[in-house]
Amino acid sequence: MTVLSIFQIAASDMCAEDKFTSSLTYLIDKIPEVGQAFASMLAKGGGLRAPTFIRAEDHPEGNAESKPDFLLHCKQFDIMCEHKLDSKLGRNQLERYLKLAKKSGRTRVALIANWDTPEAISDTVRSVANRGVQRVKRQSAMHSIAD
């Protein structure tokens, strides 16, 4: 896994979402306790016990149609993260990620978004809730979805 330096990230022409992901990877690579705290927060928000964090992966392998932003590798289970900063989900994006997670048998899915309107959050959650997905609201900028 190649981790860009903070200076390479800042100077890049990446979109805000990719800069966030790369910056988070950089921070966790330098301070693993941040990864543990992040994994614990997401797991607890999804009603799960805090896992033991191992490492983070920026843009892990997916498939031709789906490529998640971030993966937290943990001892008990992994957490696949999709970041949405001022953007909307793609068509059936969370459903596709849930299918990827289900194939692994040990992966949970988290949506991290800066959506500030309850309507945007509700519409997204309603569309996946019909498929048996649990939503837990952590704060206005953090929403966790776990299967």
20-35: average pLDDT: 89
Q: Phi and psi (nearest 5°) for 90?
A: -75, 170
Nearest to 2 by CA among 65, 57, 45, 42: 57
β-pairing verdict for 107-113 and 78-84: parallel
Q: In this predicted model, what pLDDT tens digit does every residue of 102-114 receive, in sequence order?
A: 888 889 988 887 7
86-93: average pLDDT: 80
Using DSSP's 3-state secondary structure scheme, residue 18 falls into helix
Task: Just give the CATH number of 6-146.
Answer: 3.40.1350
pTM of the model: 0.75
CA separation for the pair 104, 17 (Å, rounded): 25
Residue 50 has a pLDDT of 94
Percent of the chain past pLDDT 90, that is, above it, reads 21
126-133: average pLDDT: 44
Q: What is the DSSP letter of 5?
A: -
